[in-house]
Amino acid sequence: DSGVTQTPKHLITATGQRVTLRCSPRSGDLSVYWYQQSLDQGLQFLIQYYNGEERAKGNILERFSAQQFPDLHSELNLSSLELGDSALYFCASSPLGGPEAFFGQGTRLTVV
Amino acid sequence: DAKTTQPPSMDCAEGRAANLPCNHSTISGNEYVYWYRQIHSQGPQYIIHGLKNNETNEMASLIITEDRKSSTLILPHATLRDTAVYYCIVVGMIKAAGNKLTFGGGTRVLVKP
C-alpha cells in the first residue's frame, strides 16, 4: 500500500459525458501528479500540482483539467469523453525534496 | 531528460539474479537514473535511483557505468512476485517540488519457476 488513494477504482461512462477522478496523496506530500496509461500510448504524464499550484504540464488535452485543493487532495476532470479516453489514470505523490513518487492503484475508465 | 533504451522483454529463473540493462547514452552530468516497476496494471512502484555511484537497497542494486551511458538493475534473487514491467527513467536535477517522470516502453520481465 503506497498511501495514495484513488477513487473510484472503476468507472464506465458514455461518450460525451464528464467524470471526476479523485486522489488523496500520502500524508504530508505536497506534490500530486496525474498520469494516463492507455494500451497504445503507455504511461504518459499529464499534470503536476504542488501545494495547490500547477507546477508542470504534459500532454494533457484541453478537455481535461485538474486542481489541487487546500487539503491537498486532487481531482482530474475529464469532459466530452471519447472512446480513446478509455485508460488507466494514475495519481502519484511525492514528499518535499524526495526523489521518488508513490503511485495509487489507479482508476480504470471505460468510455462506451 | 535523456531517452533510455531497454530490451522489450526477458525471462529469468526463480531464485537467480535478474540483470536488467538500460542504455542512456545521452545522459548529462546532473541527470539521475531511476528505476520503477509495474506489476500487472497496478500503480508503478519506485525501486531505486542513482547519479554516479552504485546503489543498493532492500529491493535491488543499481550499477552505473563509469561513463554513465548505461546502467544495470540487479534483482539478486528473483521471485515470481518480481514478474513485472521494469522502467528505466532518466530525470534531471531533483527538484524540491518533485520531478515528472517520462516512461518509455520498459522491459517485461517474466520470472519462471
Partners of residue A53 on adjacent β-strands: A50
Binary contact (B46, A101; C-beta < 8 A):
yes
pLDDT digits (tens, 9 = 90+) for A9-59: 999 999 999 999 999 999 999 999 999 999 877 899 999 999 999 999 998
Partners of residue B10 on adjacent β-strands: B109
Which residue in chain A is spatially nearest to B96 when comparing CA positions?
A97
- Indicate the residue of A2, A45, A96 with minimum beta-carbon distance to B101: A45
| DSSP classification of residue A16 | T
- The CA dihedral of A51, A64, A104, A83, to the nearest 10 degrees, is 180
Which residue in chain B is spatially nearest to A55 when comparing CA positions?
B97
pLDDT at B2: 73
Is A94 an 8 Å CB contact of chain B? yes
> In whole angstroms, what is the distance from residue A41 CA to residue B12 CA?
27
Q: Tens place of pLDDT for every residue, chain B, 113 residues?
A: 779 999 999 999 999 999 999 999 999 888 999 999 999 989 999 999 999 989 999 999 999 999 999 999 999 999 999 999 999 999 987 787 888 899 999 999 999 99
pLDDT at A77: 98
What residue ranges in chain A does DSSP mark as E strands?
A: 5-7, 10-13, 19-24, 31-38, 42-50, 53-57, 64-68, 74-78, 87-94, 102-103, 107-111
User: A26, A100, A105, A109: best mutation site toward chain B, by most B Cβ within 10 Å?
Assistant: A100
pLDDT of A96 strictly over 90: no
Which residue in chain B is spatially nearest to A49 when comparing CA positions?
B97
